[in-house]
Amino acid sequence: MADAPTTPAEGEMPKVPSLRILTQFIKDLSFENPSFTEATRSQKPPNIDLGIDVQARTLSPDTYEVTLNFSARAVAEDEAVVFIAELAYAGVFQMANISDADREPFLLIECPRMIFPFARRILADVTRDGGFPPLMLDPVDFANLYRAQLAKRAAAAQGAETNGNGDPAAAN
């Protein structure tokens, strides 16, 4: 059972939640340009498949590393791979006065939201420097990604409660 919220004693300041970026950095960056000359002859823009993943890990009791992983693959109409760009961009965050229940949403929604513009710029620069128009990512709804992850977890937990054929799993 969760503790009931308490009011601060007289003269005591309430503990305000805080989140600080201590640093941010490129963990991994890769750009491959296997079909540049063929791609520049085409009049049609390539199809771009984009993948985004967010990971978080604890560094110390109040310090966390959050990593945005991007994977972009551009394919021409003749199925030739035009370019592949992969970026792992991380931030180290310090949190204070954030409850255990609120920690995961902060790590998977607010932290990525704070470092996304920097990762976006890096992907735009690397694709431009690779000879293509900059890959300008649309803003990402990290709250929606988090909700989808929660739904996936709930479905996996529901699947674990059945033995694969819809029957409840036998209790041991």
In a domain, 150, yes or no: no
In total, how many domains does the chain have?
A: 1
Residue 11 lies in a domain: no
Cα 96 to Cα 106, 116, 137: the distances in Å are: 11, 22, 31
Phi and psi, residue 150, nearest 5°: -65, -40
pLDDT of residue 165: 53
pLDDT at 5: 53
Residue 100 lies in a domain: yes
Classify residue 32: in a domain, yes or no: yes
Residue 167 belongs to a domain: no
Q: Look up the domain containing 42 and give its range.
A: 18-134
**Token pair in block for residue 33:** 């340009």
d(CA 48, CA 68): 18
pTM, rounded to two decimals: 0.79
User: Given this model, what pLDDT does residue 25 score?
Assistant: 98
Assigned domain for 171 exists: no
What does the pLDDT read at residue 39?
A: 65
Q: Is 5 part of a structural domain of the chain? A: no
Question: Residue 101 domain-assigned?
Answer: yes
Tell me which residue of 19, 49, 53 sits closest to 145, measured CA to CA. Answer: 53
When computed from its CA atoms, the radius of gyration of the chain, rounded to whole angstroms, is 22
pLDDT in tens, the chain (172 residues): 445 555 555 666 678 888 999 999 999 999 999 877 766 676 788 899 999 999 999 999 999 999 999 999 999 887 889 999 999 999 999 999 999 999 999 999 999 999 999 999 999 999 999 988 899 999 999 999 999 989 998 898 887 776 555 544 444 4
Cβ–Cβ under 8 Å, residues 148 and 154:
no
**Predicted pLDDT of residue 77:** 81
Q: Report the CATH number that the domain containing residue 79 is assigned in CATH.
A: 3.10.420.10
Instruction: Output the DSSP codes for the chain.
Output: -PPPP-PPPTTPPP---EEEEEEEEEEEEEEE-TTHHHHHH-SSPPEEEEEEEEEEEEEETTEEEEEEEEEEEEE-TTS-EEEEEEEEEEEEEEEES--HHHHHHIIIIIHHHHHHHHHHHHHHHHHHHTTS----PPP--HHHHHHHHHHHHHHHHHHHHB-SSSSBPPP-
